[in-house]
Chains A and B, each alone.
Chain A
Amino acid sequence: MSNSERIVITGVGLTSPNGDTLEAFRRNLLNGVSGITNIETRFMGQVHAGVCHFDETKYQPRRERRRGTRAGAISIYCAHEALNRAKIDVAGVDLSRVGTFIGITEHGTVETENEIDVIRQYDYDTKYWSHHHNPRTVANNPAGEVTMNLGFCGPHYTIGAACAAGNAGLIQGVQMLRLGEVDLAVAGGVSEAIGSFGIFASFASQNALARHEDPIKASRPFDKNRNGIVVSEGGCLYVLERLKDAKRRGATIIAEIIGYAMNSDARDPVQPDPERIAECMKLAVARAGIEPQDVGIVSTHATATETGDELEVRATREVFGDFPGVAINNTKSYIGHAMGAAGALELAGNLGSFEDGVVHPTINVTNLDPKCAMRNLVLNESKQVGRVDHILNNSFGMLGTNSAVVVRRYPV
C-alpha cells in the first residue's frame, strides 16, 4: 500500500437543511432553495437555524435512538444512505475491515445542556443526571453509534477539527485506506449544533450570529450587509474504497480524491490567517498533481462573518484569482453553517457538476462587498461552465485549523 494508492468515492449519504438525498440537495442548490428557518432555543428565544428533516427511524430502532444522540442518528442515517448508494450490502462485507471516521466540530454540549436542564427541574440534584450522559458525550459517540448500528468492527473515531472537520474526516478515510488499515471507509462529518444554546450564544457574544427579518436571507456570505453565521445541523458521509477494489466489485465511481492538505495558523483562536489558508490550498493542489487553473470549482468555506469572508477571499484570490476558468461558489448561503458536516456537505453539493457542468451560485448576495469581489464568484444564479474536471473544497475553523480536498471526475 502506498501514498499513490488511488482512492475513490463510491457512495454519498447526507442530510442537509434543504435535502436528505444527494439528488434533492443538488436540485435545491441549483434552484436557489434555502433550508434556513427559525427555531426556539433555550434561554435565547428565536434564532435562525438549519434543521434537517430526515426520518430518524428509517434505519434506527426507537430504543437505540432514545439512548443515543442526534449526531449519532444523523451519522447512522448518512452511513446507511451512503452504503445503499454504493450498493454495498454489509452482510457480504468483512466487517472487521470497515473503518468509520467522522469529523466533528463539537460533540457533547447538546447532551450536557440537556442534562443540566433535567436536574434544574429537581433543584440541581445530580441523582437525576442520566447514566446515558457519558456514552452520549464521549467524543467518539457519533462514529461509535454507526458501528453499533451496522456491526462495523474496524476502527472508529471522530476527528475534532472545528469547522474543517468534514474534510478532516474524509482525509482520515483516505489515509486509513492507503495505510491498509481498512478496506472500506465510511467517512465525512456531522453536527447536531442547533441543539446547544451555548453555540448560538457564543457566536452572538462574538457579534457573529446572523440576524435577518427573513431567515432564508440570513446567511449571506460575501454580501456587504452580512452579519454572521446561521448555525445548522447536518451530516454527510462518504463510502471510500481503493480504486482497484471498487473496480473489482463493479462499483459506480462518483469521484476520485486526488489531493488534500491540512495545516495550522498557530496564531489566533477565531481569526483565520489568509497566508496559511492559501498555503493549504496550494499544497492540496500540488499533491493532486494539477495546477490551480485546472480546478473547475472552488467551494469556499465562507460563513458570512465580516472578517472571515474577507480573509478567505484574499487567500482564494492569491491562489486562483488569475484564472478565469475557476468558478468560485459557496453553499452556506443555502444551508447555514453545518459545522462538522459543513465541508463534507459542501463538497457533496458540488459533485453534480461533474455530470451537469453547472456551478450552483452563492445566493443572498444583493450587495456584493467589494472586499469579497472575485471575478469568478458565481452569484445568485447558476452558471453553466461546461466540463468540470476538478473541485477544490476549502474548510477551515477555530484555533486555526485549515483543510482543502481536491476531487477529480471519474473517469477522467
Chain B
Amino acid sequence: MNASFKNSTVEQVKKIVLDIIELVAPDADLSSVKSDVRLRDQLDMDSMDFLDIVMELRKRYKVEVPKEDYTQLATLDGCVEYLTPKLQAVAAL
C-alpha cells in the first residue's frame, strides 16, 4: 500500500465516522475534532450516541462492531485502525 493510498484511506474512514457523528450529534462542531483524543471527551456524546454510531455502521456498511470491541472506537485514530479492514472487507473503501 503506497503512502498516498494509505493517506486517502485514512481520510475516507475518518469521513465515514464523522458523517455518522454529524447525524448523531448535529449540533457538534466537527471542524476541529482531534484524531487522538477520545471522541466523548471532545464532543457532547454519551453511550446512547455511541450505540447510534454502531447502528449506523451496521445500516450503512453492514459492519458489525461487537461489544468487546467498542473501546477501539474511542478515538478517530482508533476508528480508522479498527474499521479500515472491516470497511475494505465489505468494499466500502
Q: Indicate whether B44 reaches chain A with its CB closer than 8 angstroms.
A: yes
In the bound complex, residues from chain B placing their C-beta under 8 Å from that of A130 are 55
User: Whole-angstrom distance from the CB of B57 to the nearest CB of chain A?
Assistant: 12
Q: Is the CB of A128 within 8 A of B27?
A: no
CB of B6 closer than 8 Å to a CB of A: no
B48 touches A63 (CB 8 A): no
Find out whether the CB atom of A66 lies under 8 angstroms from the CB atom of B26.
yes
Assess whether B27 is in contact with A61, with CB atoms less than 8 Å apart: yes
Chain B interface, DSSP helix/strand/loop, else mixed: helix
Contact flags A122-140 to B (C-beta < 8 A → 1, else 0):
1000011011100100000
* B48:A62 contact, CB within 8 angstroms: no
B48 touches A128 (CB 8 A): no
With a CB–CB cut-off of 8 A, which chain B residues contact A61?
27
Is A287's CB within 8 Å of the partner chain B?
A: no
Check A67 for interface membership: any CB of B closer than 8 A: yes
- Asked if B67 lies at the interface with its beta carbon under 8 angstroms from chain A, I say no
Interface size on A (CB < 8 Å)? 12
Asked if B51 contacts A131 (CB within 8 A), the reply is yes
Across-interface contacts of A62 in B (CB, < 8 A): 26-27
A128 near B58: Cβ-Cβ < 8 Å? yes
A63 & B24 in contact (Cβ 8 Å cutoff):
yes
Q: Which interface class (under 10, 10 to 19, 20 to 34, 35 or more) fits B?
A: 10 to 19
Best-buried of A62, A63, A128, A135 by chain B (most CB within 10 Å) = A63
Complex Cα spacing A131 to B25, Å = 16
A135 and B47 CA atoms in complex are apart in Å by: 14
- Which residue from B26, B58, B59 sits with its C-beta under 8 Å from A63? B26
**In the docked arrangement, what's the CA distance between A132 and B55, Å?**
11
Between A and B, how many residue pairs show CB distances below 8 Å? 27
Flag A59-92 by CB within 8 Å of B: 1 or 0 each. 0011100110000000000000000000000000
Which A residues lie within 8 Å of B55 (CB)? Answer: 128, 130-131
From residue A275, how far is it (CB to closest CB) to chain B in Å? 49
> Is A63 a contact partner of B25 (Cβ separation < 8 A)?
yes
Q: List residues of B (1-49) whose CB comes within 8 Å of A's CBs.
A: 23-28, 44, 48-49
Query: Shortest distance in angstroms between B42's beta carbon and chain A's nearest beta carbon?
Result: 15
Kindly state the separation between the CA atoms of A268 and B51 in the bound complex, as whole angstroms.
45
A154 to chain B, nearest CB (A): 24
Contacts of B49 in A (CB 8 A): 63
How distant is B43 from chain A, measured CB to nearest CB, in Å?
Answer: 10
The complex places the Cα of A122 from the Cα of B60 at a distance, in Å, of: 11
Q: Is the CB of A127 within 8 A of B51?
A: no
B48 close to A132 (CB less than 8 A)? yes
Pairwise interchain contact B44-A63, C-beta atoms closer than 8 A: yes
Q: Which residue of A lies closest to B28 (CB)?
A: A63
Q: How far is the CA of A62 from the CA of B26 in the complex (A)?
A: 6
What are the residues of chain A within 8 A of B58 when measuring CB–CB?
A: 127-128
CA distance A63 to B50 in the complex (A): 13
Closest to A129 in B: B55
User: What residues of chain A lie closer than 8 Å to B28, measured between beta carbons?
Assistant: 63
Complex interface bits, A237-258 against B, C-beta within 8 A gives 1, otherwise 0: 0000000000000000000000
B50 to A, closest residue via Cβ: A131
Q: Tell me which residues across on chain A come within 8 A of B24, comparing CB atoms.
A: 63, 66
Closest CB in chain A relative to B15 CB, distance in Å: 20
CA A368 – CA B24 in complex, angstroms?
53
Nearest-neighbour CB distance to chain B for A132, whole angstroms, equals 7
Contacts A127-B58, A131-B51, A131-B52 known; 5 new A-B pairs at CB < 8 A: A62-B27, A63-B27, A128-B58, A128-B59, A132-B48
Interchain Cβ contacts under 8 Å between A and B, 9 examples: A61-B27, A62-B26, A63-B24, A66-B23, A66-B24, A66-B26, A130-B55, A131-B48, A135-B48
Chain A interface (Cβ within 8 Å of chain B)?
61-63, 66-67, 122, 127-128, 130-132, 135
Ranked 3 nearest A-B pairs via Cβ? A62-B26, A131-B51, A61-B27
